[in-house]
Chains A and B, each alone.
Chain A
Amino acid sequence: QLQLQESGPGLVKPSETLSLSCNVSGGSISNSNYFWGWLRQPPGKGPECIGMIYYSGSTHYNPSLKSRVTISMDTSKNQFSLELSSVTAADTAVYYCASVYGGGYVDLWGQGTLVTVSS
């Protein structure tokens, strides 16, 4: 059974880079049926897709975040990662890693990790 688990710091200072990793177990990130995505949800708001990566390495980013986002993958570790640079308080949110079937629907979410941007 596929499982996703986020890891990374829960507190990041303004202007620094937020870095999170997602460990995938119970399945391979080289599965061609899936994209692997990062989403976030600010307190009291709806989810927002940050971006996705395909097993080929191709990436797709939210245009509003594209200049600050890098998503990468390590097939040897069955992991994928998120870097979001120059963070501000507006980036405070619960961050989820997820499997995106066919690049369209999020059929499995990680449990989520709260990242707070504060000095």
Chain B
Amino acid sequence: AIQLTQSPSSLSASVGDRVTLTCRASQGINSALAWYQQKPGKAPKLLISDASSLESGVPSRFSGSGFGTDFTLTISSLQPEDFATYYCQQFNSYPQRELTFGGGTKVEIK
């Protein structure tokens, strides 16, 4: 099974900071990667699909990039509502359809 490793596991940042989160896959997954935001007590919310496609309604300060094994989620100017935990997720369909998530990065207020 493909493993996803997120780094760092947590970070402290200030409002207005540029923040970059990393997700590394144990083998190449082309661009089959998504990013989710989760706030305490809530379900995750899809932010980005296909590594870089911003979902409708998601602020443009969020962006994703990468291909193969290395991916990043960037928040260009951190806002108070962005303090949350972020997960990456990959899917593959061979030899069997499978979705796996990374361990998450918690973004906290400095």
Contact = CB atoms under 8 A, between A and B. Distances in A.
Contacts of B36: 47, 106
Contacts of B78: none
Interface in A67-118: 96, 100-101, 103-107, 109-112
A106 B44 contact: yes
Contact of A111 (B43, B45, B89): B43
Contacts, number: 58
B102 A60 contact: no
Interface string B40-56: 00011110010000010
Interface of B: 1, 32, 34, 36, 43-46, 49, 55, 87, 89, 91, 93, 96-104
Interface of A: 35, 37, 45-49, 52, 60, 62-63, 96, 100-101, 103-107, 109-112
